[in-house]
Amino acid sequence: MSKFAADCDKCFGLCCVALPFAKSADFAFDKDGGTPCRNLRADNRCGIHQNLRNSGFRGCTVYECFGAGQKVSQVTYNGEHWRENPSIAKEMFDVLPIMQQLHEMLCFLEEALRLKEAQPIHKELQQAAAETERLTNLSPKDLLDLHVPAHRAWVNELLLKTSERVRANVKKDHDKQSKAMRGKDLIGAKLRGADLRGANLRGVFLIAADLRDADLRMADLIGADLRDADLRGADLRGSIFLTQAQINSANGNIHTQLPPSVSFPKHWLH
């Protein structure tokens, strides 16, 4: 298991307690932050984990902690449980989203380090990864005092450089199209069969977009919102910074081609 994958056996059910949610299409009821979800069992596991989507908790299936839950539980708090020591509960819950952001950055940095196109900036990427790793080992107080946006800006600059190098492999005159799409609202867009090779889709809203049979090879998908996007038959091989949570939020089928870093969600196979 990747260290950036959630290991619920080593976590104290933190995402099920720390995070708030509102009754909606993604959640069956309201829950305040710091309040245990009614589906959380005493053994820190979800009582309906195998049936979340059908039970009205689709939002849970697309949350990704990048391994922050077990890091906070076992390293930051050295295995001390919030149930056994309620005095640390609020602090632990406040630390979780900070750790989640750091682990997300580490995940993307390690992906960048595996890309041959990024070799010219490997030293900078390694420095950023080492510093981010150091930050994950800070004390709870120091984590809460951390100015995450400043660190993210540094990391993001390197990820942008990586993206530009990867996408430069696509010999195609679509730079203007790519720039026009970045950060845009393409909710429900009709993009079936679109040639989006090497496109910069950072932060693009592709909610419920029709991407059937689209060519997304070597596209940068960091932060792209793929909720209910139709990826049936789409080709995402070689796309970068694509997470399992993004894929879990979309719809696809056995003809969807994915990079090896993510796997087919169970609901795609039904």
Average pLDDT for runs of 10 along the chain of length 270: 84 96 94 95 92 91 94 97 96 98 98 97 98 98 98 98 93 56 80 96 96 97 96 97 95 95 86
Last residue of a domain, one of 166, 198, 229: 166
User: Is residue 208 one of the residues assigned to a domain?
Assistant: yes
Last residue of a domain, one of 140, 166, 192: 166
Indicate whether 12 and 137 sit together in one domain. yes
Task: State the number of CA atoms in the 13 A half-sphere of 109 facing the CB.
Answer: 25
Last residue of a domain, one of 114, 136, 166: 166
Indicate whether 161 and 228 sit together in one domain. no
- Please report the pLDDT score of residue 174 as a whole number: 54
- Please report the pLDDT score of residue 3 as a whole number: 78
Q: How many domains does the chain have?
A: 2
- Please report the pLDDT score of residue 216 as a whole number: 97
User: Is residue 158 one of the residues assigned to a domain?
Assistant: yes
Indicate whether 98 and 148 sit together in one domain. yes
Indicate whether 184 and 149 sit together in one domain. no
What range defines the domain where residue 198 resides? 172-270
User: Is residue 250 one of the residues assigned to a domain?
Assistant: yes
